[in-house]
Amino acid sequence: MSVTFHGTIKGDMNEDGQKALPLLYLSVSGKFLIALIGATAWMGFSIWAAEAWLADLKHYVGTVLAIFLVYGIAIIPGFMNAFMAISLLLDKRPTHSPLSVYPPISILVAAYNEEASIEETLASIGRQNYPGELQVLVINDGSTDNTSLVVQRAKDQYSWLTFVDLKKNGGKARALNIGFKEVLHDLVVTVDADSFLYRGALASIVERYRADPPNTRAVAGKILVRNSRQNWITRCQEWDYFHGIAAIKRVQSLFQGTLVAQGAFSIYDRAALIEVGGWPECVGEDIVLTWALLKAGYRVGHCEDACLFTNVPSTIRQLVKQRQRWARGMTEAFVKHPGILFKPRLSTFFIYWNLVFPWLDLAYTIGFIPGIIFALFGYYWIVGVMTLALIPAAFALSLLMFSIERRMFKKTGLVVRKNIQGFFVYVLLYSLLLQPASILGYLDELFRKPKAWGTK
């Protein structure tokens, strides 16, 4: 761990226009070590505090199941939350600056039955006024609606638009790989067909890519919810994307290994894509591709101010199906790239982190949810004072995430919408849907269920 004191020179100012104070510089490995020590200390305290709870639960369910539940519900999630909180407090992300010359980019838009949204998606790309050369390839993956007609009309309006019309549906990965063959430039961006690029998003993600360490081969953009006002399901997802998913990507990129450069909006190096074989034909093509890049020794970053708004599931069934696919995609990544567990780099820590998710999801599903029901009838074997103490911690972490993301919103000209109902549903009830859905996703991959296009 390297620690360096830097004095200020006369006239140095901070972002608020005030004279900067001497700063304590910590290397990335130093920040990681501090976060790890702090989280481990918190876990040690939690283990001590949970002794009575564990002893009581052993009496009812036995030693093995009691340890499985207590550690899966409280101890390990507490460690993760502490690590996240400390890391976010230590994250002082360098800014990216405008480039003197912007490189040409190619954008791949895979579309399946997107006649209602593809026109506005293309319009949002046009309004970017990207200062470099632009090539946009829309790949219609055998849509059964009028997606093809809408894109054909758009070709008359946009000189940079190329249309690849596939007559037979073959899946998103196949569509992207076919479009990739027509790519002209060294930087390749993927954008979902039902999304809206916020102003300056393309320039920002290119600037971040160029500013990141030289071994970076992909950068994930920031995904936000477009249809958040639709109902309570989309309102709680607004919080999930706004600071839950965003905070995880921040911490992962801080430690040089964002685990998912999501297909909805990311930028990739063309040569690196060729090296790893492009998009694999599987449910989680974006996570499997990202892990292939990490396995090859490359870094994957995150650009927190390159924003894309996308439509999220608006029904419980759609949301559950989406999270099933995400969980299945993670399982596919482990199956296809098991060697990544032995890569000696900071990002490997998060690979192991993902490895315990099935345990946590199962403990929550078979322990915490029934435990809430038992507690309502006065039986506090599983959910009691110790577990209720996690609720203030969850709110505190959420407020930290909120303060960080609100600053980013202010910087980019966005305004945080008042969504109190969605926040409370997100903090208190969201996991009641998502963690059982993840269990279904693991089972889908275990039993090799058929794969299909679906919501992101």
For 81-100, the pLDDT digits (tens) are 999 999 999 988 778 899 99
Residues 6+ apart with CB under 8 A from 33: 1
The number of beta carbons lying within 10 Å of the beta carbon of residue 59 is 10
Q: Tokens 């989280």 belong to which residue?
A: 39
Query: CA gyration radius for the chain?
Result: 23
Q: What is the pLDDT of residue 13?
A: 40
| 3 state DSSP class of 261 | coil
- Whole-angstrom distance, CA of residue 114 vs CA of residue 143: 8
- Whole-angstrom distance, CA of residue 179 vs CA of residue 136: 10
Half-sphere exposure at residue 360, Cβ-oriented, CA atoms within 13 angstroms: 17
Q: What is the pLDDT of residue 6?
A: 33
- Whole-angstrom distance, CA of residue 299 vs CA of residue 308: 22
Q: Which residues of 191-218 are buried (b: 16+ CB within 10 A; e: fewer)?
A: bbbbbbbbebbbbbbbbbbbbbeeebbb
Q: Check pLDDT > 90 for residue 452.
A: no
**DSSP letters along 138-153, please?**
EEEES-SSSHHHHHHH
- Whole-angstrom distance, CA of residue 370 vs CA of residue 383: 9
Q: What is the pLDDT of residue 129?
A: 93
DSSP class of 19: B
Q: What is the pLDDT of residue 394?
A: 74
Residues 297, 256 contacting (CB under 8 angstroms): no
Q: What is the pLDDT of residue 207?
A: 97
Q: Check pLDDT > 70 for residue 11.
A: no
Q: Tokens 């490189």 belong to which residue?
A: 103
Q: Check pLDDT > 80 for residue 390.
A: no
DSSP class of 213: -
Mean pLDDT along residues 231-244: 89
Q: What is the pLDDT of residue 370?
A: 86
All structural domains of the chain: 3-90 (no CATH), 105-315 (3.90.550.10)
Q: What is the longest distance spanned by two Cα atoms in the chain?
A: 73
DSSP class of 273: H
Lowest mean pLDDT among 186-195, 280-289, 420-429: 420-429
pLDDT digits (tens, 9 = 90+) for 147-175: 999 999 999 899 999 999 999 999 999 99
Q: What is the pLDDT of residue 418?
A: 80
Which residues are paired to 137 by β-bridges?
108, 162
Angle, CA 302 vertex, CA 296 and CA 308 arms, to 5°? 125
Q: What is the pLDDT of residue 421?
A: 81
Q: Tokens 């209720």 belong to which residue?
A: 388
Residues 435, 361 contacting (CB under 8 angstroms): yes
Give the residue, 274 or 56, on which the prediction is more confident. 274
Q: What is the pLDDT of residue 388?
A: 66
pLDDT digits (tens, 9 = 90+) for 29-81: 999 999 999 999 999 998 998 898 889 889 888 999 999 999 998 899 989 99
Q: Check pLDDT > 80 for residue 223.
A: yes
Q: Of 134, 164, 135, which is closest to residue 152 (Cα–Cα)?
A: 164
- Whole-angstrom distance, CA of residue 443 vs CA of residue 299: 31
423 pLDDT band, cuts 50/70/90, is confident
Amino acid at 392: P
Across the chain, what does the average pLDDT equal? 87
Mean pLDDT along residues 308-333: 93
- pLDDT > 90: what percent of the chain? 62
Mean pLDDT along residues 219-236: 92
Residues 6+ apart with CB under 8 A from 244: 401, 426
Q: Which residues of 378-415 are buried (b: 16+ CB within 10 A; e: fewer)?
A: eebbbbbebbeebeeeeeebbebbbebbeebbeebebe
Q: Check pLDDT > 60 for residue 5.
A: no
454 pLDDT band, cuts 50/70/90, is low
